[in-house]
Structure 1
Amino acid sequence: MAEENSTCNSLSMEEKVKLITRNLQEVLGDDRMKAVMKERDLRIYWGTATTGKPHLAYFVPMSKIADFLKAGCEVTILLADLHAYLDNMKAPWDLLALRTEYYERAIKAMLKSIGVPLEKLKFIKGTDYQLSKEFTLDVYRLTSMVTEHDAKKAGAEVVKQVEHPLLSGLLYPGLQALDEEYLKCDTQFGGIDQRKIFTFAEKYLPQLGYKKRSHLMNPMVPGLTGGKMSSSEEDSKIDLLDSAASVKKKLKKAFCEPGNTADNGVLSFCKHVIFPLLGAEKFTIERAEENGGNVDYAEFAALETAFAAQEIHPGDLKATVERHLNRLLDPIRREFEAPELKTLAQRAYPPPSKKAAVTETEGPHRLDMRVGRVVSVARHPDAESLYVEKIDLGEPEPRTIVSGLVEHISAEELTGRLVVVLCNLKPAKMRGVESRGMVLCASVDEPRAVQPLDPPAAAQPGDRVLVEGYETGQPDEQLNPKKKVWEKLAVDLKTSSTRVAEWQANPLMTKDGAVTCRSLAGAPIR
């Protein structure tokens, strides 16, 4: 410890700044940061909402925390339990304390795995101060200044976005801004996806009489499938407790196209975690002599250039990364073999019951079904069997929706009619015309008949259509076609013997009553 402190003290301010900012995507307020560093060590805080299990991508901020400590910074890690609940209730209230404890144990295990001394860190829970009288009054003061537009904009990249957001999600950015003052930090560190919250803090904290802080932002590291590494997308991430066999399997499937350095989660992990932690060690790709033999890389830029030039095969890169990953994960796996930690993991993330699994993951609440009124109907210019409809869904402009109803209902009968529209399908080109939704219909094959569903006569365009018993939860902003959410749920959609539209025998309801079908009973709904 004394040796490390001596190293920190021997660094020039320029060397400290280089350590603090390396591999970052953006720094806001570096002049304010440097001004503080001329007087004393920088105080930095990093926060994480205690939602899904921490995964491999958490090593990215961990490696930066190692940099901050090497530069002599005082670092606080905020376990943002209240934020986890406010973000669309991603962590149920009754599991908050357990998940927060799991996060703290997992993060400490990660830091120990990369050699970070824990005694130089401060851990704090959000609820330790965010429920205080002073913090609560500041929240109220902030709500008197912030518009709904600014709150929604600030959380756009962090808080789950839905058409009708819960008030809790609008409070989220304000609480994160106030954290800077109540944690007495000089700088907040986070991902580039938090940039709008950081600029929100820079705007509003001075209006409360508090100082403006600087902000450090990591780039978003791609997951193994090429997009963001996410707790909710199993194939995109490697869990901290995944076995060596599971790591091998997931890396084998990871996106790592020859010569492609964009959206390459394998390469990104090398840049942001493996190389910063190598020290004097080199990144050695082991391969047979007939394939060029072993090759060493001391700098990530050289590895990236070689991969772009296709001098390194993706399989050889993955094999090397696999060795480094298991070296990082082995100490964590061993620590979590302790009975108390196994019990903690099971209690914090209990396996869902069959009903809960449907409700939370594949439930019908994920479908954005709304009442629409057909404003106009025209024949598709290049397809005789298709209509191009303009449908009022309570939005500023009617949506264009293409449907195959020509043989089943006249344009005159369809115009002005109330229908049910599935609104969050991915837009699709139908013979050159983009369709932004689907009119839900009951249909039978023998004899062939198709009928649009009928909302109650009192319903209005834009009214939500919900499945009774599944009213909680928010629809996906857009259904992921790769996950086939609609296809899985549609299997259980049909009309009852009394022609009521149902999902698993639960009626589809608006605030004015049930959705029905004019004459087709026991018919699938598509």
Structure 2
Amino acid sequence: MNVEERFRLIAKEPTEEIVTPEELKKLLESENKIKHYIGLEISGPLHLGSLLIVGLKLRDFIKAGIDVTVFLADWHSYINEKLGKDFQKIRAVAESYKKAFSAFVGSNLNYIYGSELYESYRSYWEDLLKAATNLNLARISRALTVAGRDEKEELTFAQFIYPLMQINDIHALDVDIAHGGTDQRKAHMLARDIFPKLGWKVPVAVHHHLLPGLQKPSEFKDESFSKMSKSKPSGAIFVHDSYSQIKEKLQKAWCPPGVVVGNPVLEIIKYIIMPINGEFLLKRDPKYGGDYLFKNFNELEEAYRANKIHPFDLKLSTADHIYEIIKPVRETLIKSDEYIKIMESIGFRIEE
């Protein structure tokens, strides 16, 4: 596979941004092993966005010959007060992430916990302080994920250290490509800003699309919508959900007739079903036109825009396809009594 083919794999959807394309091409032209990293906060069960969208991109990196690492950010999760700051629960849920990603992506993945990195990389905290001397509170505040002043005033001091740990993780892991959703852009840009001052290797940043939740967007401005999140269970399809749960959630999903922008059902088809299946079979009663096989997303989108597809049929067909896609991962997870126990302990019901 030549450089252009490898570049196209990394740049294709769900990738939305590469900072910078020229730097990535230069990396691919080198004969050195290229190290990738994506950091995952451990905050609950994986959903379509956090496993399938991420996993599809990881498959692309692997095909492109990149050494892929999933960083299980256990201490970051603790700092952000996830799972009640119960480290035992954080670790148990993280182990389920490893099982799910291995089932969906394959065995060509490296995993490392934050706690493992901090124990093995002896100069981690020394380097973190070096990075900190190049930043003031205002710059750190801009790298935080919360936006409002009131929200920031409620943060603990540890949460202000969080972005510093993110960039120091990238340095300690000797990362060439820092990968994440578009919500991780601030941290990656922080690394690119200050690493040259420290003489550290500057990573290329690759940001993928964020899948929206199933609920109505809070602000309907083009693609400005809330991402799928564990904190909004009714708006998220989890990888352990049963068919009946998926069907129920999709039936309630925001999917107005003829509306294609920000439509979460169409997003699932575009970014998950089409890339995996290469087509979309719309199932419907013969009296409403019968089944129809769409070979590309643009054709389906235009048909929906023209009101040639009813939301009910689109939702049910999507439920069928999504269940078949997640079924192997689901079966891997729910055969474990430990997984069922830990999920129920954090408030998620598992159906057979």
Q: Under a length normalisation based on structure 1, what TM-score does the superposition of the two structures give?
A: 0.60
Query: Are residue 151 (structure 1) and residue 151 (structure 2) matched?
Result: no
Query: Contact between 2:99 and 2:333, CA under 8 Å: does it hold in 1?
Result: no
Query: Contact between 2:174 and 2:201, CA under 8 Å: does it hold in 1?
Result: no
Rate the CA distance shift 1:206–1:68 in 2: closer, same or farther, 3 A.
Answer: same
Query: Are residue 55 (structure 1) and residue 47 (structure 2) matched?
Result: yes
d(CA) in 1 for partners of 2:309 and 2:134?
55
Summarize the alignment of residues 299-338 of structure 1 with structure 2, pairs less than 5 Å apart: 299-338=296-335
Query: Contact between 1:43 and 1:186, CA under 8 Å: does it hold in 2?
Result: yes
Which residue of 1, 7, 18 maps to 1:27?
Answer: 18
Which residue of 154, 168, 177 maps to 1:178?
Answer: 168
Rate the CA distance shift 1:111–1:181 in 2: closer, same or farther, 3 A.
Answer: same
Query: Contact between 2:176 and 2:203, CA under 8 Å: does it hold in 1?
Result: yes
The C-alpha deviation readout for 1:324-348, integer Å capped at 9, x for no partner, is: 111123223322333xx32244246
Runs of 4+ in 1 over 3 A off after TM superposition: 157-162
Query: Are residue 194 (structure 1) and residue 184 (structure 2) matched?
Result: yes
d(CA) in 1 for partners of 2:88 and 2:11?
33
d(CA) in 1 for partners of 2:175 and 2:238?
31
d(CA) in 2 for partners of 1:77 and 1:248?
31
d(CA) in 2 for partners of 1:267 and 1:351?
30
d(CA) in 1 for partners of 2:334 and 2:38?
28
Which residue of 103, 110, 117 maps to 1:122?
Answer: 110
AA at the equivalent of 1:335: T
Query: Contact between 2:83 and 2:89, CA under 8 Å: does it hold in 1?
Result: no
AA at the equivalent of 1:147: N
d(CA) in 1 for partners of 2:288 and 2:98?
39
Which residue of 42, 54, 79 maps to 1:86?
Answer: 79
2:58 corresponds in structure 1 to 65
Rate the CA distance shift 1:246–1:316 in 2: closer, same or farther, 3 A.
Answer: same
Which residue of 278, 284, 288 maps to 2:285?
Answer: 288
1:77 corresponds in structure 2 to 70
Query: Contact between 2:334 and 2:340, CA under 8 Å: does it hold in 1?
Result: no
SS at structure 2 position matched to 1:336: helix
| CA drift at 1:107 | 4.5
The C-alpha deviation readout for 1:435-463, integer Å capped at 9, x for no partner, is: xxxxxxxxxxxxxxxxxxxxxxxxxxxxx
Query: Contact between 1:42 and 1:187, CA under 8 Å: does it hold in 2?
Result: yes
Larger relative contact order, structure 1 or 2 (CA cutoff 8 Å, min sep 6):
2
1:112 corresponds in structure 2 to 103
1:142 corresponds in structure 2 to 131
AA at the equivalent of 1:151: I
Considering fraction of residues, name the structure with more helix.
2
Summarize the alignment of residues 368-379 of structure 1 with structure 2, pairs less than 5 Å apart: none
d(CA) in 2 for partners of 1:32 and 1:97?
40
Query: Are residue 256 (structure 1) and residue 251 (structure 2) matched?
Result: no
d(CA) in 1 for partners of 2:340 and 2:147?
25
| CA drift at 1:47 | 1.2
Query: Contact between 1:157 and 1:193, CA under 8 Å: does it hold in 2?
Result: no
Query: Contact between 1:252 and 1:318, CA under 8 Å: does it hold in 2?
Result: yes
Query: Contact between 1:54 and 1:103, CA under 8 Å: does it hold in 2?
Result: no
Query: Contact between 2:47 and 2:236, CA under 8 Å: does it hold in 1?
Result: yes
**Higher CA-based Rg:** 1
Rate the CA distance shift 1:80–1:222 in 2: closer, same or farther, 3 A.
Answer: same
d(CA) in 1 for partners of 2:170 and 2:272?
26
Gaps of 5+ in 2: 217-225, 348-352
| CA drift at 1:81 | 0.6
Rate the CA distance shift 1:191–1:20 in 2: closer, same or farther, 3 A.
Answer: same
d(CA) in 1 for partners of 2:178 and 2:64?
16
d(CA) in 1 for partners of 2:110 and 2:141?
31
RMSD: 2.2
Query: Are residue 224 (structure 1) and residue 214 (structure 2) matched?
Result: yes
Aligned pairs, how many? 333
Query: Contact between 2:49 and 2:210, CA under 8 Å: does it hold in 1?
Result: no
Query: Contact between 1:228 and 1:236, CA under 8 Å: does it hold in 2?
Result: no
Summarize the alignment of residues 92-491 of structure 1 with structure 2, pairs less than 5 Å apart: 92-93=84-85, 95-113=86-104, 116-118=105-107, 120-131=108-119, 132-157=121-146, 161-226=151-216, 227-278=226-277, 281-338=278-335, 341-347=336-342, 350-351=345-346
AA at the equivalent of 1:26: E
Rate the CA distance shift 1:239–1:158 in 2: closer, same or farther, 3 A.
Answer: farther
Rate the CA distance shift 1:334–1:214 in 2: closer, same or farther, 3 A.
Answer: same
SS at structure 1 position matched to 2:162: helix
Rate the CA distance shift 1:175–1:345 in 2: closer, same or farther, 3 A.
Answer: farther
SS at structure 2 position matched to 1:129: helix
SS at structure 1 position matched to 2:124: helix
1:432 corresponds in structure 2 to none
SS at structure 2 position matched to 1:235: helix
SS at structure 2 position matched to 1:216: strand
d(CA) in 2 for partners of 1:346 and 1:316?
35
SS at structure 2 position matched to 1:15: helix
Query: Contact between 1:198 and 1:215, CA under 8 Å: does it hold in 2?
Result: yes
AA at the equivalent of 2:157: L
SS at structure 2 position matched to 1:206: helix
d(CA) in 2 for partners of 1:299 and 1:135?
48
d(CA) in 2 for partners of 1:122 and 1:272?
25
2:2 corresponds in structure 1 to 12
Q: Percent identity?
A: 28
Query: Contact between 2:303 and 2:309, CA under 8 Å: does it hold in 1?
Result: yes
| CA drift at 1:351 | 4.9
Rate the CA distance shift 1:14–1:305 in 2: closer, same or farther, 3 A.
Answer: farther
Rate the CA distance shift 1:259–1:103 in 2: closer, same or farther, 3 A.
Answer: farther
AA at the equivalent of 1:50: I
Query: Contact between 1:102 and 1:345, CA under 8 Å: does it hold in 2?
Result: no
